[in-house]
Structure 1
């Protein structure tokens, strides 16, 4: 177990803010400025202090990588944490926008219904939340009722696929349905009602419904105690008051090993010997270890050369088995008060898919817009000012912050969304080790996949496997 000593983490949050190379800021006065301030930038271990060999090398300093590195170092393993970005946090990072305001550029939503993240937050004394007024209509209860029990018999154990399948083999049959297939099965709904339901479901992932397994949504429903009314509060209502970066820094503070930032990995090679796995960085530096944990997102894992190569089935799973959710995030400050919330779904050729109120910040309301990829959001004043047409009377745009996740070489979009039939064909393959290389992260979790809690869940799993093998 981890140390439960009382530690004052406040000095972590007051860490000097530095400028990341990522993201952009737009204002009416100055237009576009590139790179955003964040406390997530931390120094690497000085190169002379690095070792050529380690017990375990962890690739990626998101929540899964940070947690695996922390826990392995606590268990006495000599570890090296390698991160391609100039900061920690991966697909989650916080940007200060004023003396008492901040925005989350990536993943942000947490809830006490998500057990792993809530447990970690309590460990660091960070379980204080900010409540937003984001919301929307609940899914029709009949949509989930694929078994006459609201889906309960299909997913009896939401955090354990193997146990669920063992108790009910129909689990895999249901996974063969796409969301489009499931909506088509519904009797008693008019075409208009089906169209509204499909529009709501499409906002979940931003992926065509025929490419999204019905099980992706049913799983979240199960994690919310099979209560449709819990889905919005549990997935997009509560944020960390301290921010995700402060959370990541608290974990990093307890990590006892070495670290390298701003260093993408080019290849992972396995051979015989005491340290059979070697990791080569794009700058040519090479480090060897007994085992490697890769937390590289599924969307971009093909950027790394594996020797020996990954199995054909695993490569197929990482490519055609999933569809990246490629919705970019634009955070807009407006001086108009929208205390009762605003939730908009956009149709046609609009650059935005949807928008919702994301909290009141002083004299401003924060809006979050999910934008389609490849629309020049980072250099088009016109597209940003278009937000002013998605409004009740009087809304203006003062400033905006963005991170183009669809164009991010280390993310390739947001979460990878699994297609129909993924579980039976690929699930076991992608989670097993490739020799001494272990794949880990929220993308691989059974439970809260795609959320911070899923990153912790899978880090615990892979850490156990590595400790057993090494």
Structure 2
């Protein structure tokens, strides 16, 4: 879906386990018009010419638009969906507010935390679970006291041992690049094999390692270690970042930010083509052509290849999009079960249909609502029968009444869920795609050097991209004068 200044929640230790995160989205686009250029004649009509165009109305795009307004730039947001938020999506289920994507914030994520405070939005902490469920030696699952989580934490610390040395500056992951050359090649599975973890131990730590990465053989060790560094190399903070929610959900936060941006927004306008002609950029979306001096591309990396960048991009951009950064099999499902079953914290085995299950903060009229996270490509989040089978394995006797989920990998404007880099991407592509290419600047939680995978990272890159784009608009104005 990034931490340095910290205020920790000491009391919310076990709520910590709310695993997956999500944060940005939209569609991609292009811009560029000079009325004198024959290929673009007639496109610079009133209402279609801007100082800057932002492609994607997630937190990165809205943050960029707001910053551009502060710099005096007339800005257009082109959003493929009928809503803003992208991979942050507030909805309802069984009479309760839910989040299909980004959910939690933490004081160490200073950008989003300060934003929520400034906007006057209240916060609420999720209550702790009552019990945990873990895999057993016989291949099944068993209910455990919460103290069992200490065994999981011991394994987690072994995974990221040494991060203080090779990632000493959390917001500058390249600072000790010399120490990362070999480490950045490792998958989480490679690390588990280095540690000689048993199958049982691997299952115990799967929900906080392999499930984050979209599987042990997909996710990189350095991504996990980067989050660990942002959390101050501390298990309490690592789990505590998934405890506190803004009242009204992420939808309330981004709506208020959008209102401050003063940007024009065109919804249901997926960008299909972007052409940088040197002095301007042309963006085609929804059958219309828009023109600007600079464009901020603020959509998930996985969708970059869905846009025709007619003037071309360096190979790193296409390669990163093909490899994927957002976990391509990420899913989140809300499950209404019968009765009050307490507040479980289920840690699925590696390869399970549900990697992690926890209870919604509030009770519904029918009993308990569970929240399930999955990276298993076989799970159908709309199938009551399939979800029932998965729940019966970990919580025997629990009856599933209804489900409501979202498969982020099948979402054409996301093509994946929360950010989790693959081996080689930190040192191989990240710096390159953060640099402007002509009049295009890229943003999004996927390419943050701080909290990648969280809203804070999206805001970080949106602010940065706005500064770069504003400079391009100034240069464009100078060239035309």
- Across the two proteins, how many residue pairs are aligned to each other? 407
Q: For the structure 1 residues 262 and 50, does the alpha-carbon distance in structure 2 shift closer, same or farther, using more than 3 Å as the test?
A: farther
Q: Deviations over 1:231-262 (max 9, x none)?
A: 1221x322222211111111111121211001
Match of 1:59 among 55, 75, 84: 55
Change (3 A) 1:401 1:132: farther
> Does 2:251 align with 1:242?
no
CA deviation after TM superposition for structure 1 residue 341, in Å: 2.5
Match of 2:164 among 152, 167, 190: 152
User: Which residue number corresponds to residue 14 of structure 1?
Assistant: none
> In structure 1, the residue corresponding to 2:356 is in which secondary structure?
strand
Q: Distance in 2 between matches of 1:50 and 1:227?
A: 54
Distance 1:145 1:426 in 2: 22
Please give the alpha-carbon distance, in whole angstroms, between the structure 2 residues aligned to 1:308 and 1:139.
Answer: 51
Structure 1 residue aligned with 2:139: none
Normalising by structure 1, we get a TM-score of 0.80
Q: Which runs of 5+ in 1 are unaligned?
A: 1-48
Are residue 131 (structure 1) and residue 90 (structure 2) matched?
Answer: no
The answer for the alignment partner of 1:169 in structure 2 is: 178
Counterparts of 2:154 and 2:463 in 1: how far apart (Å)? Answer: 32
* Deviation, structure 1 residue 416: 4.3
CA distance in 2, matches of 1:97, 1:181: 39
Structure 1 position 435 matched with structure 2 position 442: no
- Look up the match of 1:209: 216
Is 2:313 the counterpart of 1:302?
no
State yes or no: 1:312 paired with 2:324: no
Question: Following TM superposition, where does structure 1 have runs of at least 4 consecutive aligned residues deviating by more than 6 angstroms?
Answer: none
Cα deviation, 1:356-409, whole Å, max 9, x if unaligned, reads 22323255322111243354433x342243355145455323332212212100
The Cα shift of 1:227 comes to: 0.6
* Corresponding residue number in structure 2 for 1:290: 293
Aligned to 1:121: 116
Q: What is the aligned partner in structure 1 of residue 348 from structure 2? A: 345
Q: How far apart, CA to CA, are the structure 1 residues paired with 2:204 and 2:450?
A: 27
Q: 2:155 aligns with which of 136, 140, 154?
A: 140
Q: Could you say what the CA RMSD is over the residues aligned between the two structures, in angstroms?
A: 2.5
* Pairwise CA distance, 1:132: 4.1
The answer for the alignment partner of 1:42 in structure 2 is none
Shift of 1:311: 1.4
Aligned to 1:184: 193
* Change beyond 3 A, Cα 1:444–1:262: same
Distance 1:315 1:240, change over 3 A: same
> 1:311 and 1:382 mapped to 2: Cα distance?
46
Match of 2:427 in 1: 424
Deviation per CA, 1:103-126, whole angstroms, max 9, x where unpaired? Answer: 111121211121111011111011
Contact 2:211–2:350 under 8 Å retained in 1: no
**8 Å Cα contact 2:116/2:246 also seen in 1:** no
Give TM-score scaled by structure 2 length.
Answer: 0.78
Higher RCO (CA < 8 A, seq sep 6+)? 2
- CA 1:307 to 1:139, structure 2 compared with 1: closer, same or farther past 3 Å? farther
Native 8 Å contact 1:94 1:243 kept in 2: yes
Partner Cα separation in structure 1 for residue 78 and residue 194 of structure 2: 47
Once residues 421 and 252 of structure 2 are traced to their aligned partners in structure 1, the CA distance between those partners, rounded to angstroms, is 31
